[in-house]
Amino acid sequence: MELTAYIVLILISSLTIISESARLYKWIFIPCCLGFLFIVRSEGFDTDIIDYARQMHATGMDLYYWREFIFWFGSRFIYSIFQDELYSFLFMDFIWILVMIRTGNNLSSDKKENLNNALLLVLLTSFPFVFGYENIYRQFYATVFALYSYSLIDKKHYFSVLIFIVSFFMHNIVALLIPLFIIKRFYKFNFTDRIQISLIVSFLYVASLSLLLKLKSAEQTGLNMGLFYFLVFLILLVVGLLVFRKNIYTLFKKVPSLLFIVVLMTGLIILNVDMVVERLGMMFICFITYDLYLYSSEIKNKSIRSLVRLSLMLLFTLPTLFFESSKKFLI
């Protein structure tokens, strides 16, 4: 049932992207999102979700929980209202759907025109999202709020910082995203400075992270996806360089996260820290998708614009169906 609903949702997403119908997005796709999540929760809880459900009942609170108190206190508070694990998760799902809609609305001042606000279309069925709301829910929740912060950084800087702090106290791993925010915030420099900033921040980040890993181990997702993420980002960079070969400046202006992510992932692959690559790779896909979707809103040709968005959605969705490690959550 869950896998069937997922495939139907992919088809609805594809149809909405191709038609660019705001009505279809608002009155069909969004309700189907909520319906799909209801099916996901009703079909039973997987791995980490079982633990999160159990923690809703808990009363103790040691340092581990205080470090990420917003998620733990928040989920327990919601459970105290509903007194039901299923409805508590559904309410939490409803919240992150609203946050994603708000994030999409920050993409363009023309919110309804050409579906420039419909970021959720390409992310909901993507591998990082599926693995997130099906399993690593706390990291996923923090990533959604961090992405919302990312969308505000050039418009409401201080509010963006506040939202990022909220995401940090949901899952501390989002601290690893700070260089991405720095690069986006200071990408008003000229082209040469942008390249230099991206490279310097990337190398410093890899060096400091390698030292940190000697002191502290990182939690794995249970998948060995590090090389896959690296290849995806590398392919995006190569395609971008080919498309913008006459004006490389435009590429890094439109997709400021791309160079940093590729350099960073290269360094982490060389250091053989798959556990970090997996976690970061899942989060980076969300941010690079945001940048690419923002770029797509500037494409005037409807066919090309729809093709870019459809390609994005399928690129990050199809692995869910082909990899047994992720497909199992939908069966």
Domain that holds residue 147: 2-330
> Mean pLDDT over residues 206-225, rounded?
52
Q: Is 21 exposed, middle or buried (0-12, 13-18, 19+ CB in 10 A)?
A: middle
For position 198, what pLDDT does the model report? 61
Domain count, the chain: 1
pLDDT in tens, 152-211: 998 888 999 999 999 999 998 898 888 888 777 765 555 566 566 666 666 666 666 655
pTM: 0.89
For position 203, what pLDDT does the model report? 64
- Contact predicate 317/309, CB 8 Å: no
* % of the chain surpassing 70 pLDDT: 84
For position 217, what pLDDT does the model report? 42
- Spatial neighbors of 251 by CB under 8 A, at least 6 apart, are 240, 241, 243, 244, 258
For position 199, what pLDDT does the model report? 64
Which range is least confidently modeled, 52-56, 108-112, 293-297? 108-112
The neighbour count for residue 299, using CB atoms within 10 Å, is 15
Q: Which of 144-148, 183-187, 271-275, 279-283 has the highest mean pLDDT?
A: 144-148
